[in-house]
């Protein structure tokens, strides 16, 4: 009795749904399929939407009818635990479904391709082909990022990036095989999908959504964007690039000397770093159509990664430290690089640190086949529509920006080259756009010269390298250019 009483007090969600009766069986069957394909759950029949207990009219007959509906309508065979319980003098029908090792289950009437459903929050979502494949791989014990890419070879890996990440390790065939960056495929060694996601020379060609979209918005919604940055770094390097973007906007309007002296930020740096790493490691890279997204609002920061929770896992279990590794190759490399430590320790640590620092409790949600983590700020960081990139650069307050620009000028031996790099921090810009940002009426010969020098030095690159004279040509920072600016910013912070 206490167990059902506890259920009655809970809201509908990932593992619980209430139905009045069996008169419309299809929604009920979708729910059972979704439970079996996700984290399991309980369906309670005999309760109205407003949570009134009305019971079922003929319990034994309805129990038999439900069993027959399940047997006739769901494949592969699903055998939930069905029992009759009494609440407030009324008999309820409770069907308990456990995460299934026969997934994906589907409605026979709709077929194996269109009749598969998963549970997202309190709703059932029809699974598409990539998600169905993910469910099958889970049953087979196969992870997407461990699969080989047989048409590729070691030459498709960025060995320089790997060597830079592992300076103390001899990067040979054995090391790559140990990290599962190379895997055996039909008698030869080929890059794994995780290896290409981590260090592929042409990662975006093979995984066009394997990038990170960062945005700073004005206010508390996405109606007006102030600044944005698309990050295409190798995944381990992307952590620092994302954090640099967040830090530079945290510095807007902040007391730079206080941050430098006390390492006190207006955003929870440690929490956000952990959330970002979790997003990169656990994203479903087989899911196409959505990159990882970082949205910075006046009152919060949202980190959204593609992919719903793996079957058998719930948000509450995540908070308790239960962990399932979606991408073992990516996770292994991140652990070797000391970006993550003990499995499952990250999420509980996020909540502990938020509580210790009197911050709003982070919110974890499954939304449209994405996992979103919202980190609230202790105090709003309001932007106004009158602020602009030129009048108040996002890297620091004006005096500190001048120091950064002076250091860049010294390093590049050109004030104009320094200004070009700083303007390319937020977005790719063409020559005419750069001239506008610099307050020039036209693209001068000196601007042409400095862009050419920056290209030759590897600090910037073309967005259309095969069409250098295209009118659509833009320029963006390379990893080399980002590292230069990052080192100078951090140098100022450490003074």
Predicted confidence pLDDT, tens digits, the chain (495 residues): 447 777 888 889 999 999 999 999 999 999 999 999 999 999 999 999 888 999 998 999 999 999 999 999 999 999 999 999 998 889 999 999 998 889 999 999 999 999 999 998 889 999 988 889 989 998 888 999 999 999 999 999 999 889 888 888 888 889 999 999 999 999 899 999 999 999 999 988 899 888 999 999 999 999 888 888 889 888 998 998 899 889 888 865 444 444 443 445 678 988 999 999 999 999 999 887 789 999 999 999 999 999 888 888 888 888 888 878 899 999 999 999 988 865 556 788 899 999 998 899 999 998 878 899 999 998 888 876 555 443 344 433 445 667 778 888 888 988 899 989 988 876 678 888 788 777 777 888 889 999 999 999 999 999 888 888 887 788 998 988 888 887 887 776 555
- Helix spans in 148-268 (H): 159-165, 173-178, 193-199, 203-206, 235-250, 256-262
For residue 12, give the 3-state DSSP assignment: coil
- What span, in angstroms and rounded, lies between the C-alpha atoms of 76 and 80? 13
**CA pair distance 137, 133, nearest whole angstrom:** 6
Q: By three-state DSSP, how is residue 155 classified?
A: helix
DSSP 377-415: -SS-----TT--TTTS-TTS-HHHHHHHHHHHHHHHT-H
According to the model, what pLDDT value does residue 258 have?
45
Strands (E), 13-104: 16-19, 41-45, 74-75, 81-87, 90-97
Q: Which fold has domain 212-376?
A: Heat Shock Protein 90 (3.30.565)
- The full set of domain ranges for the chain reads 2-140, 147-206, 212-376, 398-493
What are 117-158's pLDDT values in tens digits? 999 888 999 998 888 998 999 888 899 999 999 999 999 999
Are residues 262 and 310 in contact, defined by beta-carbon separation less than 8 angstroms?
Answer: no
Cis-peptide into 200, omega within 30 deg: no
What are 74-79's contacts with CB under 8 Å, separation 24+?
Answer: 74/29, 74/32, 74/33, 74/36, 74/105, 74/106, 74/107, 74/108, 75/105, 75/106, 75/108, 75/112, 76/102, 76/105, 77/102, 78/32, 78/33, 78/36, 78/102, 78/105
Indicate the SS3 state at residue 316. Answer: helix
Task: Write down the residue that tokens 């970002």 correspond to.
Answer: 276
Measured over all CA atoms, what is the biggest interatomic distance in the chain, rounded to whole angstroms? 88
What is the crossing angle of helices 479-493 and 415-423, to 10°? 100
CATH number of 2-140: 3.30.950.30
pLDDT digits 0-9 by tens, 348-377: 889 999 999 889 999 999 887 889 999 999
The answer to whether 2-140 and 398-493 have equal CATH topology is: no
Instruction: Give every strand in the sheet of 41-45, ordered side by side.
Output: 16-19, 41-45, 90-97, 81-87
- The per-residue pLDDT for 194 is 96
Q: What is the reported pLDDT for 393?
A: 40
pLDDT for 319: 87
Residue 66, pLDDT score = 95
Q: Which residues neighbour 267 within 8 Å (Cβ) at sequence distance 6 or greater?
A: 246, 247, 250, 301, 375, 377, 381
- Please check whether residue 272 is in contact with residue 246, taking contact to mean a CB–CB distance below 8 angstroms: yes
SS3 per residue for 181-206:
CEEEECCEEEEEHHHHHHHECCHHHH
Q: What is the pLDDT of residue 395?
A: 38
| Buried residues in 420-431 as b, exposed as e (16+ CB within 10 A) | bbbbbbbebbbb
Beta strands in 221-309 (DSSP E): 225-231, 292-296, 300-306
What's the pLDDT score for residue 322? 83
Please give the pLDDT value at position 439: 72
The CATH number assigned to the domain with range 398-493 reads 1.10.10.10
The kind and range of the H/E element at 143 are: none
C-alpha to C-alpha distance for 7 and 92, rounded to whole angstroms: 12
């Amino acid at each position: 009795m206490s167990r059902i009483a506890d259920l009655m007090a809970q809201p509908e969600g990932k593992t619980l749904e209430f139905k009045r009766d069996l008169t419309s069986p299809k929604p009920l069957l979708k729910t059972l399929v979704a439970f079996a394909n996700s984290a399991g759950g309980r369906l309670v029949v005999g309760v109205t939407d407003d949570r009134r207990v009305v019971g079922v009219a003929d319990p034994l007959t309805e129990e038999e009818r439900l069993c027959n509906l399940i047997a006739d309508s769901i494949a592969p065979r699903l055998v939930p635990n069905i029992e009759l319980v009494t609440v407030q003098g009324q008999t309820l029908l409770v069907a308990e479904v456990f995460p299934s090792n026969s997934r994906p289950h589907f409605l026979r009437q709709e077929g194996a391709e269109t009749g598969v459903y998963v549970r997202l929050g309190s709703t059932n979502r029809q699974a598409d082909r990539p998600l169905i494949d993910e469910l099958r791989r889970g049953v087979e014990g196969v992870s997407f990022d461990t699969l080989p890419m047989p048409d590729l070879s070691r030459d498709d890996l960025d060995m320089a990036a790997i060597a830079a990440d592992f300076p103390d390790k001899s990067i040979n065939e054995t090391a790559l095989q140990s990290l599962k960056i190379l895997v055996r495929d039909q008698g030869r060694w080929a890059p794994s999908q995780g290896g290409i996601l981590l260090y592929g020379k042409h990662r975006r060609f093979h995984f066009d959504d394997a990038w990170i979209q960062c945005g700073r918005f004005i206010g508390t919604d996405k109606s007006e964007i102030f600044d944005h940055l698309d990050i295409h770094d190798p995944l381990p390097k992307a952590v620092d690039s994302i954090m640099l973007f967040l830090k530079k906007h945290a510095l807007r309007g902040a007391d730079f000397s206080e941050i430098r002296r006390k390492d006190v930020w207006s955003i929870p740096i440690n929490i956000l770093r952990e959330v970002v790493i979790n997003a990169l490691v656990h994203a479903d890279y087989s899911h196409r159509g959505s990159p990882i997204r970082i949205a910075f609002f006046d009152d919060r920061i949202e980190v959204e990664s593609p992919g719903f929770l793996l079957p058998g896992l719930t948000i509450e279990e995540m908070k308790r430290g239960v962990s399932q590794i979606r991408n073992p190759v990516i996770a292994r490399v991140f652990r070797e690089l000391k970006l993550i430590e003990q499995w499952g320790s990250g999420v509980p640590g996020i909540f502990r640190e938020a509580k210790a620092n009197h911050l709003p409790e982070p919110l974890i949600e499954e939304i449209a086949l994405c996992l979103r983590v919202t980190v609230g700020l202790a105090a709003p960081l309001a932007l106004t529509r009158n602020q602009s990139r030129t009048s108040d650069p996002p890297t620091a307050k004006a005096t500190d920006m001048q120091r950064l620009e002076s250091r860049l000028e010294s390093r590049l031996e050109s004030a104009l080259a320094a200004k070009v790099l700083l303007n390319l921090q937020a977005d790719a810009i063409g020559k005419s756009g750069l001239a506008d940002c610099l307050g020039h009426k036209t693209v001068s010969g000196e601007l042409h010269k400095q862009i050419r020098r920056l290209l030759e030095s590897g600090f910037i690159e073309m967005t259309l390298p095969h069409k250098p004279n295209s009118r659509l040509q833009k320029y963006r920072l390379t990893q080399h250019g980002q590292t230069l600016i990052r080192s100078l910013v951090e140098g100022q912070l450490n003074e």
